[in-house]
Amino acid sequence: MSLSKIAGIWEKLIWPWRPESNREAGSGIVANFLLHWFPNRISLRSLAFPASLYLGTITFVVFLVLTVTGVILMFLYVPSVERAYWSLKDLDHAVSFGWLLRRLHRISAHLMVALVFLHMFRVFLTGSYKAGEIVKSARPFNWVLGVSLLVLTLLLSFTGYLLPWDQLAFWAITVGTNIAAAVPYVGETIRQFLLGGTIIGQPTLIRFYVLHCALLPLVLFAVAAWHMWRIRKDGGLAIVEEDRKEALAREPQAPKKSKTYSVLGIASGTTVQVNDPTTLNEDNSVPSTPFLTVRILLITLLTVAVSIGLSLVIQAPLEAAANPEVTPNPAKAPWYFLGLQEMVGYSALMGGVIVPTIVILGLMLIPFLDREQKGIGYWFTDGPGRKWGVFGFLFGLVTTCGCLALALLAPMRSIFPTIESQVFFDLVNPATFLLLLFAGMYFVVLKKTDSTRYAAIATFCAFIIAFVILTYTGTALRGPNWDFFWPWQAWPVHPTAL
C-alpha cells in the first residue's frame, strides 16, 4: 500500500473537512450518513446553551456509555444464582479493569436516571411540549414519547439492580415485585409472572437479565430514535417558534413551500417544513456542521470524561451475597425509588400503585390539558409564570413537609386506633393527602389566573420539590426499622433482633 493511500485512509478517519460555503455544508450532509442526524442549518436560538442545557444530548451519550460497558459486562457476567455474585467479585478483584467497567456502568445508570428527570424538568419549564400556532407540530406527542422513555429508563435501572445478586439486589426486588402484587385482583398473577414462580430464584434472575440486556434496551433505543427523529420533523427545538414568528412578521405574504417530504403511503400528513414560514438566513442561523457537530462532540467528550472521573472516585458497592433468610435493616431501594418507598411506607396500594400511576398519566396528559401557546421555549413562560413557579415550589415545600410530619408524629393507625379496615388506611394516609393537595392547587391556580399554563407550572414545581424531599427523606433520614433519624443522629448500632 502506498503512502498516499495510507494518508488517504488517515484523512478519512480524522475527517479534517471544513466547509467553505453554505452550499458545501449542505452537500456535506447529503454525502455523509452520520450528518443526516442534523439539519442543514440550525437556528442560533436553538444552539444557545440556555435553550436546552443540552440535557437530551447528554442523556443519549450516557446511554451509549451504558450500552458499550453493558456489552462488555455481558461477556463477564454469569446469570445464574450460584455464580452471579461471584462473577461480580471477579469483576472487582480478578478481571483487569473489571472494577472500572462496573463502576462506570453503575454511575452512568444513576446519571441517566437523574438526567432523564432533569431533561423532563427543562422541557416542561420551557413549555417545549407545545405544538405552536404557526405550524402545528407534533411536540405534544413527542412529550408522551419522552415520558415513556422515563418509564423505560426506570425499568432498565430496576432490572439491572437484581443482577449483582447481593442482599441489596435481592431485597430491592422483593419489595419491588410485592408492590406489583398490591395491584387489585391481578397483582399476584403479575408478581408470579415477573418472578417466574412464587419466590425469587433462578427463573427470576434469567427473566430480569433478558429484560435488562435485550428487550428493554431494544425498546428504549427504538423509542429514543423516534423521539429524536420527531425533533427533526418538528423543525428543531421549541424556541424556533420565535424564528417562525419573526419570519412571518417579516414577510407575511412570502410564498410557502409546498413539497411533501413524508414517506408516501407510510406516514400521513406533511412535515412541518411544508408551509413553514421560517427561512433560516445568515442573521438567525448557522450551518449545523461544524457549529452543532463540534458542540455535540464537545458535550460527548465532557460527558464521557465526567462519567469516567466519577467512577474513579465513587466505588460500586457490593453487599453480602443474597440471603433470602435475612433482611438487611434498613432494606432500601435505589435512591430514585426511595421517594416511592417512603410513600409505600404509608400504604402499598396508594404509594406504590395509585400515586405512581396518576403521576405517569398526569405527566403524559400535560400537553393535552395545557393548550395555551404563549411563551414557547422560554423558561417559566413569562413574569407571572415565574411567580407561580415560586408559589408552587413553596406550596410543595410546606405541604410535603406537613405530610411527612403527619406521617412521623401522628400515624393514621394511632389517630384511628379502632378502625381495622385496610381499605380505610389505603385511602386515608399522607400520600393521598399530598395527591389531593396538589390536584386542589392546580384547580385553585387555574381559577385564579384562568391559565392552564400557570396552573401546570405551579403543580409541576410542587411535584419537583415533593419528589426531592421524599427522596431525601427515604435516602438520608430513614434508619433501622424505617425509623426517622435526623442527619446528626447516630443509628443504633445493634437493632434488637433475634
Partner 1 sequence: MASNTVNNEVRVSSDAGADPTRRGFLGRLTAAVAAVGALVAGWPLLRSLVPNVLYEPPKKFRIGAPENFQEGVTFLEEHRIFLFRDSSNYHAVSGICTHLGCTVKFSPFTLPQEETVRQFTYRALGEFHCPCHGSKFRGEGTNYAGPAPRPLKCFHLELSRATGELVVDVATEVSRDFRLVV
Which of the residues 294 through 313 are near partner 1 (CB under 8 A)?
Answer: none
CA angle in degrees (0–180, nearest 5) for 271-277-282: 110
Which of the residues 340 through 359 are near partner 1 (CB under 8 A)?
Answer: 341, 344-348, 351
Is 422 a residue that touches partner 1 (CB under 8 A)?
yes
Phi first, then psi: give them for residue 38, nearest 5 degrees: -105, 155
Site string for partner 1, 152-181 (x = CB under 8 A): -------------------x--xx--xx--
Is 372 a residue that touches partner 1 (CB under 8 A)?
no
User: Contact region for partner 1 (CB under 8 A) — 14-22, 137-145, 304-312, 465-473?
Assistant: 137-145
Residue 449, CA atoms < 13 Å, CB-side half-sphere: 19
Question: Nearest to residue 453, comparing CAs of 378, 362, 369?
Answer: 369
Alpha helix (H) residue ranges in 382-421 = 383-409, 412-415
24, 90, 246, 483: residue in contact with partner 1 (rule CB under 8 A): 483
CB neighbours of 371 closer than 8 A, spacing ≥ 6? 130, 452
Is 480 a residue that touches partner 1 (CB under 8 A)?
yes
Q: Which is nearer to partner 1, 164 or 430 (CB)?
A: 430
Is 251 a residue that touches partner 1 (CB under 8 A)?
no
Query: With 0-12 CB in 10 A as exposed, 13-18 as middle and 19+ as buried, what is 225?
Result: exposed
CA distance 397 to 43: 38
User: Contact region for partner 1 (CB under 8 A) — 119-127, 376-384, 394-402, 479-487?
Assistant: 479-487
User: Contact region for partner 1 (CB under 8 A) — 38-46, 131-139, 381-389, 442-450?
Assistant: 131-139
Cell of 244: 417562525
CA distance 81 to 87: 11
Residue 451, number of CB atoms within 10 A of its CB = 18
User: Contact region for partner 1 (CB under 8 A) — 20-28, 280-288, 325-333, 432-440?
Assistant: 325-333
138, 215, 286, 310: residue in contact with partner 1 (rule CB under 8 A): 138
Distance of CA 244 to the CA centre of its chain: 30
Distance of CA 53 to the CA centre of its chain: 15
140, 146, 339, 362: residue in contact with partner 1 (rule CB under 8 A): 140
DSSP single-letter state for residue 316 = P
- Residue in the structure block whose three cell numbers are 414517506: 263
Is 253 a residue that touches partner 1 (CB under 8 A)?
no
User: Contact region for partner 1 (CB under 8 A) — 23-31, 45-53, 272-280, 287-295?
Assistant: 272-280
In the complex, which residues of this chain contact partner 1 (CB under 8 A)? 131, 133-138, 140-141, 171, 174-175, 178-179, 192-193, 196-199, 201-203, 207, 234, 248, 268-272, 274-275, 277, 324-331, 341, 344-348, 351, 411, 413-414, 422, 425-426, 480-483, 495-498
